Structure 1
């Protein structure tokens, strides 16, 4: 499955906002720096995400962005579709039947296979929230932290 750079940046920006414990707005420059996203591109992406009801913003010195909904209520799939359109990683393969090749041996079996792959992918992205990704990331980082004994007598 390929996603656009724009979509990848949108997912990463929402992730940064999802992992925050501070309820206040986060400055766009901090989001850009943390995820290495070009600032001007991020401005356009966040504006689009705001229009889609994923983020909110506040102008001014104390301004910035925050999630419009809790992270456990935003599915990865809805952001993917909002930015890049329908999710179908194997369109070319699945559409062979419509190209007049339905009589080729195995073509129907392949078509059904690609349909199953599409459904499985949709199932994963539509059941995974940003809160799930934040938990996975925190768990991974905790596993990587070295144990430091703090003994006192």
Structure 2
């Protein structure tokens, strides 16, 4: 599964907006804070605005706010707003795949992967990510001991 830069940047921008809801934030400020290319972020924010996930105000005191409460914006909402689809395989959605012969069962696996990812992203809101810590890294196995020579 591929997470696009657009989706990653969009979530990061929304997290910045959710952290400070008292005032609008500018794209310049978000880009600087999150180390995102400004021109790319402008395009991403435009997609988020068209989807209703952010709202904007022009003028010297202008900028962007969340379009609805952070609790009501899921990662799935964000990905669909900027990418249009959650998962594609060679440009097709898994629902439209069919393979012949021994590969006939593979599209079902791709659909299950998409369904699992969809469920996780639907259940994860922007608000739930604020203050969330990264999951701990799996433990590194100790190197195998050489057998003692007797």
TM range (shorter): 0.7 to 0.9
Map 1:1-153; keep pairs closer than 5 Å: 1-20=1-20, 22-88=21-87, 91=89, 98=98, 101-104=99-102, 107-137=103-133
In proportion to residue count, which structure has more helix?
1
For residues 4 and 111 of structure 2, the distance between their equivalents in structure 1, rounded to whole angstroms, comes to 22
**C-alpha separation in 1, matches of 2:69 and 2:58:** 21
The DSSP-based 3-state class of the residue aligned with 1:32 is helix
Structure 1: gaps spanning 5 or more residues: 141-153
SS in 1 for 2:132: helix
Partner secondary structure for residue 25 of structure 1: coil
Q: CA deviation at 1:6?
A: 2.0
What RMSD, in angstroms, separates the aligned Cα atoms of the two structures?
2.4
In 1, Cα distance between the equivalents of 2:112 and 2:46? 35
Q: What TM-score, normalized to structure 2?
A: 0.76
CA contact (8 A) 1:7 1:84 kept: yes
| TM-score, normalised relative to structure 1 | 0.74
Aligned-pair distance for 1:73?
0.3
SS of 1:56's partner is strand
Q: Could you tell me whether the CA contact under 8 Å between 1:3 and 1:84 is conserved in 2?
A: no
- Deviation of 1:67 after TM superposition, in Å, equals 0.3
**Residues in 2 aligned to 1:112 and 1:48: alpha-carbon distance in whole angstroms:** 31
Q: Distance in 1 between matches of 2:77 and 2:55?
A: 17
SS state at 1:131 partner: helix
Cα distance in 2, alignment partners of residues 7 and 118 from structure 1: 16
